Chains A and B, each alone.
Chain A
Amino acid sequence: MPLLLEIITPESKVFSEEVEAVVVPGSEGELGILPQHIGLLVQLEPGELRVQNRGEELHLAVGGGFVEVSADKVSVLTDMAIREDDIDESAAEEAMRRAEAAMRDEKLHGEEYASVQASLQKSLAQLKVKRRRGH
């Protein structure tokens, strides 16, 4: 029984394949999803998304968003999704330094602060995915 996984950002459809299982970072903790899962709607936290297919494991860094699950389909709506291999570690580190510097700058307020914080979380998620592999 296949499970169709779709990962979609406002810019494009990042991933659309049949998989055996997927683990998503939900707002209430990590969540493993197998085929024939009950209908589910979860808030997504920035973090690592793991895909299992034919004994292989694929890792993606995702931003905040939502996950919609039905019996044979998982749709992940997020503002960022990057495959492990495409993560540019130095760029992510650089982005993180910038974000941290910007957050120390006290002139930020409201929307700006939130957006900087969000980008910091995304960079962290990318780095976490990359580093776990012992690079």
Chain B
Amino acid sequence: MASLRDIRRRIKSVKNTSQITKAMQMVAASKMRKAQQAALAGRPYAQILNRVLTTLRDRVDHALHPLLAHRENESRELVILLTTDKGLCGALNTNLCREAMNFDKERTDFISIGRKGTQFLARSGRNMLAEFPLRDQPTFLESRAVSKLAMEKFLSGAVDRVTVLFPLFVNTLSQVPTAMTLLPITSLAEMGFGEAADEAAAAKVDDSALLIEPDSRTVLDAILPYYVHFELYQMLLGARASEHSARMVAMKSATDNAKQLVKDLTLEYNKARQASITNEILEIATAQLALG
């Protein structure tokens, strides 16, 4: 049986750990709220962008536009992997990396955002094109650099499809690793804005006489990169929200476990203390008997 001092020491260290995890839980909770708000704030922008795009798509032969065109044989694929920089967020990164394993090693290039993903890709010997360190609250401009690189690769023909692998924020308790196609821009519903696309289809009737200035071609050329940049930005915000909520949940269970452990250890400590007292009394009593 461990000595009293050992147990006391363990209780103290577990308590310290639980204080840290508790603090991390609080921090993650407030960061999560912020990240969620940032993600939601982009909603109206996304809806209108979608509507405009749907209207334009029907007016221009979109097979012609390089960003919209499907390639016949998709030989190479580019995957943008969104992970976290820091650990202690449960199975979030593990799940993402497991998904990343499903891509064909020979035919897939990777762009990594987040240190954990970079480490994983390096370890498993994947072909990594670039790594972007992004701050906790990424700005539109920073995420633009990533989508721009992806677009260049796609347009130059180096890759035939760009997919983003990121943790989709379902709710605080559940984040699903999801692979979405960024390029070529396929159906809008597939991009995760099904409602907006339906709405746009319903509203299309009344803008049959639509003027487009300077002309639809120019506007489409200008708006499509916008769309891609924005899409990636949204996914990034979602990924950040997922990270913080995953960390919050992980830290909450760590705190709970630590509390349980302290309880068990305290019980053990008291038992040991009681045993030693009993022992002492026993010894005194025996000594008295021997003397008497």
Contacts and interface: CB of A to CB of B under 8 A. Distances in A.
Contacts of A26: 213
Nearest to B56: A41
Given A10-B140, A70-B207, A40 B213 contact: yes
B63 interface: no
Interface stretch (B46-54, B118-126, B270-278): B46-54
B209 A66 contact: no
Nearest to B47: A8
A39 B208 CA distance: 8
Contacts of A12: 41
Interface in A62-112: 65-66, 68, 70-71, 75, 77, 79, 111
Given A68-B51, A71-B206, A77-B45, A11 B38 contact: yes
Contact of B140 (A13, A68, A79): A79
Interface residues of A, number: 26
Nearest to B208: A39
B170 interface: no
Interface in A1-45: 6, 8-13, 26-28, 38-43
Identify whether the interface residues of B are mostly helix, strand, loop, or mixed.
helix
Contact of A111 (B38, B144, B216, B226): B144
A115 B143 CA distance: 13
A43 B38 contact: no
Nearest to B38: A11
A41 B212 contact: yes
Interface residues of B, number: 33
A8 B210 contact: no
A77 B49 contact: yes
A40 B223 CA distance: 15
A79 B141 CA distance: 10
A6 B48 CA distance: 10
A43 B226 CA distance: 12
A114 to B, nearest CB: 10
Contacts of A40: 210-213
A41 B214 contact: no
A6 B141 CA distance: 23
B145 interface: yes
B233 interface: yes
A71 B205 CA distance: 13
A65 B273 CA distance: 73
B1 interface: no
Contacts of A10: 41-42, 45, 140, 230, 233
Interface in B215-257: 216, 218-219, 222-223, 226, 230, 233
B52 A41 contact: yes
Given A39-B211, A41-B55, A79-B140, A9 B45 contact: yes
Given A27-B213, A40-B213, A111-B145, A68 B48 contact: yes
Contact of B210 (A9, A11, A39): A39
Given A41-B212, A41-B213, A8 B222 contact: no
B48 A8 contact: yes
A39 B59 CA distance: 14
A78 B120 CA distance: 38
Contacts of B214: 27-28, 43
B213 A42 contact: yes
A28 B42 CA distance: 28
Contacts of A13: 41, 44
Interface of B: 38, 41-42, 44-45, 48-49, 51-52, 55-56, 140-141, 144-145, 148, 206-214, 216, 218-219, 222-223, 226, 230, 233
Interface of A: 6, 8-13, 26-28, 38-43, 65-66, 68, 70-71, 75, 77, 79, 111, 115
